[in-house]
Structure 1
Amino acid sequence: MSSIATGQALPRLTAESTHGPFDSSTLLGRPFVLYFYPKDNTPGCTTESQDFRDLHDQFLAAGCAVYGISRDTLKSHDNFTAKQSLPFALIADPDETLCQLFDVMKLKNMYGKQVRGIERSTFLVNAQGILVQEWRKVRVPDHAQEVLQAAQNLAA
């Protein structure tokens, strides 16, 4: 499967999530956000998820759904969701199918060693299922607010 680019329609995406099976075809007619993060219960990922949580009602008011994605298991996601009171689904991608489609797997330096992991990235998909905006190499502060603004602009 090749990677997706801005302006392209997404293929049908299916995966397991904390809210049951995820199927992007059920979202046609509604914009949605997919944010990829490296790992549950780590400082940056926790802050990012809390920021999306705290703005969730505003995303809903803009008609936009939010989904978090990492390579963690559903069990890990369930624990993270409960601990952080996340109102949106977290998608488990342990085989990296979605990670590869969105080209978020990168070599990163951790403590002087090269490791392969998820580069924090967010994607906004419009109601027609077209990828309209992407954020790569995301820095957490103010990121969820920036994504919300883009979602609100879609709704306007």
Structure 2
Amino acid sequence: MTTLTLGTPVPDFTLAATSDTTFRLSDFQEKANVVLYFYPKDSTPGCTTEGQDFRDAYAEFQAADTVVFGISRDSLKSHENFKAKQAFPFELLADVDEIACKLFDVIKLKNMYGKQVLGIERSTFLIDKQGVLRHEWRKVSVKTHVAAVLAAVQALV
């Protein structure tokens, strides 16, 4: 498995996306910066807040030539419901086979109700127009996260 490091190109990958689309990282090369935010589960409190924060700042991301995508292991059907309910202007990617999760190494051992389970560690990655990983945020705290990502995006322009 490839370990991603800052300043190096991110290997191309493809995932099913909401709105009956397919996400392919290489489709954005030379066109837009890409923010990929990994979250544990659709319609849970922290994930809803994080998605709403990205939604509310979406126009600012667009102004900085950046597209935003949320990724979890949930199904496309679950994603479609979550996206519609929260009026997200961006697509959600279904990583049911953990392709991107493994590439970005976001599957971690977590404690849930006294049991250890493998789950997504809330993480965000900023990839520039050349396909190079520019920033990563791991163990994200939802409150100030989107503002920090937006500042990093705006610094690329």
Bin for the TM-score computed over the shorter chain? over 0.9
Deviations 1:21-65 (A, max 9, x none): 111111001211000000000000000000000000000000010
Root mean square deviation, CA, Å: 0.8
Q: Does 1:130 align with 2:100?
A: no
* Structure 2 residue aligned with 1:142: 144
Aligned equivalents of 1:56 and 1:8: distance in 2? 26
Using the size of structure 2 for normalisation, the TM-score is 0.97
Aligned equivalents of 1:100 and 1:42: distance in 2? 22
* Structure 2 residue aligned with 1:25: 26
* Structure 1 residue aligned with 2:37: 35
Using the size of structure 1 for normalisation, the TM-score is 0.97
Shift of 1:2: 2.0
- Count of paired positions: 155
Bigger mean CA deviation after superposition, 21-30 or 74-83: 21-30
Shift of 1:12: 1.0
Aligned equivalents of 1:35 and 1:99: distance in 2? 11
* Structure 2 residue aligned with 1:95: 97
Contact map agreement 1:121 1:135 (CA 8 A) in 2: yes
Aligned equivalents of 2:120 and 2:68: distance in 1? 18
* Structure 2 residue aligned with 1:71: 73
Matched residue of 1:141: which SS? helix
Shift of 1:8: 1.3
Aligned equivalents of 1:108 and 1:26: distance in 2? 34
Q: Which amino acid is the alignment partner of residue 151 of structure 2?
A: Q
* Structure 2 residue aligned with 1:7: 7
Q: What is the aligned counterpart of 1:120 among 119, 122, 125?
A: 122
Matched residue of 1:50: which SS? helix
Aligned equivalents of 1:3 and 1:75: distance in 2? 31
Bigger mean CA deviation after superposition, 102-111 or 2-11: 2-11
Q: Which amino acid is the alignment partner of residue 28 of structure 2?
A: L
Shift of 1:113: 1.1
Aligned equivalents of 2:101 and 2:2: distance in 1? 11
Shift of 1:111: 1.5
Gaps of 5+ in 1: none
* Structure 2 residue aligned with 1:46: 48
Aligned equivalents of 2:91 and 2:54: distance in 1? 11
